[in-house]
Amino acid sequence: MKSFFASLAVFFITQPALSQSITVADFKKIIEFPSLQEAKKHIEGKGFKYYKVTDSKVENVTTTSWSYGYNAKKDEATAWISVSCDGDKPIRTYYEVFDFTLSMPLVNDVSKNNYKFEEIDQDDEEFTSRYAISDYYLFQYQKKDTKLGYKFECIKKFSKADPLNGTSIKYYPHGNVKYTVEMRNGKWNGASKSYNEQGILISEGMYKDDKEEGTFTFYNEQGVLTSKENYTYGSLKDATFYHANGKVRRTYQYLMDKRSGKSLAYDEEGSVTEESFYIGDKLFGSFKQYVKGVESFSAYYSNDTLSGMFTKTLFNEQGERYAQERGSYKAGYPEGKVLATFDKTKDTLWLKNYKNAEPVGPWKFYTVDGALNKTVSFQSGTEKELIRYEKGVPAHKVEFLASENSEWKFRYTYDSGSEKKELNLALPVSDYVVTGVLFDYFEYVSKLFNTDNILDASHKNGSYLLENQTVRMEGSFNQNNPVGIWKSAYLKSGATSQGVFNENGGELLEQFTNKKGKPFSGSLSYENGLFSIQINVKKGLKEGLTTIKNSKDGSIKELLYKGGTLVQP
């Protein structure tokens, strides 16, 4: 039963008896008064004191409340009575009493007058009985815990407060309207509107015999249109969802309240981005996606699962199409050969293979000129090794070693013939928690060393090797800091050095020797890809300026040493 009920904040308290008992006749008399002023005189003649007025701001209905035995500190009373008015005309009286002895006269009055009983309803807290009294409805609300008292409500039929005919209004506890709906013979028939607690309209539509009929419109908490749904006698037929700018975002068709039929998705400019088909809430048949009007993906669904041939269009950073990928799905996963070719040349861009929903290798990737660019190998469906090629020859290699303590451990090596680098890395899994695949790490590591240089890497952990035409350097990192013993051989001069770093990466001492093993004196220089370094040495120790020149921007940093100790960074 959908009943009108405006709750007030009330509490259990025992106070002296009312000066006169409240009866059903009082309810009827209050509603029959032509104005609130006359109703006020009658109520206050019963010993009640004015409490407050609540304006619903909907349907021009206001509610005035009085209390009996009011305690201002606790905002509690023995009894409450309120009158709702349409304009100035009373249409509803509500009475709540917390003294069991005070409620009994009204309970007995209902019983002895044999008012026509129509319905009883209940929820977790109370029973609701409805009686018919000529032009009124009388509702008796009895708490399941009778110690908490009784509530009574008398409503004029076909008034704005009538829960069965006319406009039924449901309120939030603070008095704002929650929803309004037109009633006829106890059923929802006509317009309905719902509001949030701030009074903003969030939905509106029509009902016929308690069932949705026609278009229902929904808004967000700011009152902006979000969707529309169309019904026929309670059955959803179609729905349209909107972007914040008011343009259509998605459309669905329904059969027996489940998505069935064609569905379209749009971007904020109104272009179609997806075209699909549903049966019984599941994807079936052709499925297409678009980017700025160009088909970007085409596949088939069976029972909500990708199955069969697919094509995928590839775009560059400027949004231009440059290649297309083709393959097959089985049970929702790629299966067999997946081939991508360049649009212009039709040459292979990449060749991937899958078996039993797992990637199998090697995967091969090519440049636009047809040269092999990189390969990826797998072990039990997990990426194991990535190799990048330079002029068709393997140069960069990234090997996955293990997963330990929320870290993925890698070994990177580079060998161009004239230069060799080697470094171990430990990368936190959280860095790529969104994708969670090793391939992203492989790309991160290989691109890092392809473009910047190994010394520019973060997360260095473990052994390190650099070897080129100027220097061979070996050492170790711990959490990105050089630690332990580092050895270097300067190939042009034949000098060597050995340095020691503490656990925080601080240099303790580095000693230089010549080819004969005696303390070296002179100038040494080497390159590591990012920097050109020149060191001045005297009697086996750094002395004077060490100059570090950035190979990219030409900036220079100078360090001053004395007797092997850094005195001015």
Joined together, the tokens standing for residue 278 give 């549903």
User: Residue 326 in contact with residue 336, Cβ under 8 Å?
Assistant: no
Sorted by sequence, the CB contacts under 8 Å of residue 555 that are 6+ apart come out as: 549
Return all residues near 95 (Cβ < 8 A) that are at least 6 apart: 22, 27, 79, 80, 81, 106, 151, 152, 153
* 3 state DSSP class of 426: strand
Angle between helices 100-112 and 24-32 (to 10 degrees): 80
Q: Look up tokens 């990737």; give the residue.
A: 365
Closest CA to 287 of 305, 275, 273, 278: 275
Residue 526 forms part of a structural domain: yes
C-alpha distances out from residue 127 to 146, 154, 155, 445, 504, Å = 11, 16, 18, 69, 74
Instruction: Give the residue from 133, 164, 195 where a domain finishes.
Output: 164
Q: Give the residue from 184, 175, 181 showing the smallest Cα distance to 203.
A: 181
Cβ atoms 30, 155 nearer than 8 A? no
Q: What is the CA radius of gyration of the chain?
A: 41
How many other C-beta atoms can be found within 10 angstroms of the C-beta atom of residue 312?
Answer: 17
| Two tokens, residue 390 | 């330079």
Q: Which of 164, 198, 216 delimits the end of a domain? A: 164
Q: Whose structure tokens read 């303390």?
A: 519
Task: State the residue for tokens 């959908």.
Answer: 2
Number of H helices, E strands in the chain: 4, 45
- Compute the half-sphere exposure of residue 527: CA atoms within 13 Å on the CB side of its CA: 12
| 262, part of any domain | no
Q: Given 164, 196, 216, which residue is the final one in a domain?
A: 164
Peptide bond connecting 90 to the previous residue in cis, omega within 30 degrees of 0: no
Q: Give the residues across from 206 on adjacent strands.
A: 191, 213
Helices 24-32 and 36-44 cross at an angle (nearest 10°) of 150
* Placement of tokens 């026929």 in the chain: 232
pLDDT value of residue 41: 94
pLDDT tens track of the chain, all 569 residues? 333 333 333 322 334 445 557 888 888 899 899 999 999 999 999 899 999 988 766 567 889 999 988 988 888 888 899 999 988 999 989 898 877 666 777 777 776 676 777 778 777 777 888 887 778 888 888 777 654 557 888 888 878 777 788 778 888 867 688 899 988 877 899 999 999 989 999 999 999 999 999 999 999 999 999 999 999 999 999 999 999 999 999 999 999 999 999 999 999 999 999 999 999 999 999 999 999 889 999 999 999 999 999 999 999 888 899 999 999 999 999 999 999 999 999 999 999 999 998 889 799 999 988 899 889 898 888 888 888 888 888 888 888 887 777 677 788 887 877 777 787 777 666 544 334 455 555 666 655 555 444 444 556 777 877 788 888 888 888 877 888 899 999 988 889 999 888 777 677 788 999 988 899 999 999 887 678 899 999 999 999 999 999 877 889 999 999 998 888 76
Residue 85 resides in a domain: yes
- Per-residue pLDDT of 73-115, as tens digits, reads 888 888 899 999 988 999 989 898 877 666 777 777 776 676 7
| CB 263 within 8 Å of CB 277 | yes
Helix/strand/coil for 291: strand
CA nearest to 24, candidates 147, 112, 90: 112
Report if residue 147 sits inside a domain.
Answer: yes
Residues 6+ apart with CB under 8 A from 525: 470, 490, 492, 532, 533, 534, 535
Q: Is residue 168 a contact partner of residue 181, using CB atoms and an 8 Å limit? A: yes
Instruction: Give residue for tokens 């006698």.
Output: 233
**C-alpha closest to that of 16 among 118, 74, 98, 73:** 98
Residues 239-291 have pLDDT tens digits of 999 999 999 999 999 999 999 999 999 999 999 999 999 999 999 999 999 99
In whole angstroms, give the CA distance from residue 515 to residue 492.
11
Look up the pTM and report it.
Answer: 0.60
Entry field: residues in the chain: 569
CB 383 within 8 A of CB 437: yes
Residue 443's pLDDT is what?
62
Residue 278 included in any domain: no
> How far apart are the C-alpha atoms of 30 and 93, rounded to whole Å?
7
With 0-12 / 13-18 / 19 or more C-beta atoms within 10 angstroms meaning exposed / middle / buried, residue 72 is exposed
What pLDDT, on a 0 to 100 scale, did the predictor assign at position 234?
95
Give the pLDDT of residue 50. 93
Q: Which residues contact 111 (CB under 8 A, 6 or more apart)?
A: none
d(CA 139, CA 160): 16
Residue 187: which of 213, 166, 215 has the closest Cα? Answer: 166
Q: Are 64 and 85 in contact (CB under 8 A)?
A: yes
What pLDDT shows up at residue 141? 82
d(CA 469, CA 521) in angstroms, rounded, equals 21
Q: How many domains does the chain have?
A: 2
SS3 (DSSP) at 111: helix
pLDDT at residue 7 in the model:
32
3-state helix, strand, coil in the chain (%, to 5): 10, 60, 30
Residue 509 forms part of a structural domain: yes
pLDDT value for 430: 54
What tokens were used for 262? Answer: 């064609």
Q: How far apart are CA 247 and CA 262, in angstroms?
A: 19
Q: d(Cα 339, Cα 325) in Å, to the nearest integer?
A: 6
| Structural domain range at position 92 | 24-164
Q: For residue 254, give Cα distances in angstroms to 225, 282, 405.
A: 21, 11, 49
Burial profile 400-424: b = 16 or more Cβ within 10 angstroms, e = fewer: beeeeeebbbbbbbbbeeebebbbb
Q: Specify the DSSP element, H or E, that contains 109.
A: helix 100-112
Evaluate whether residue 222 is within a structural domain. Answer: no
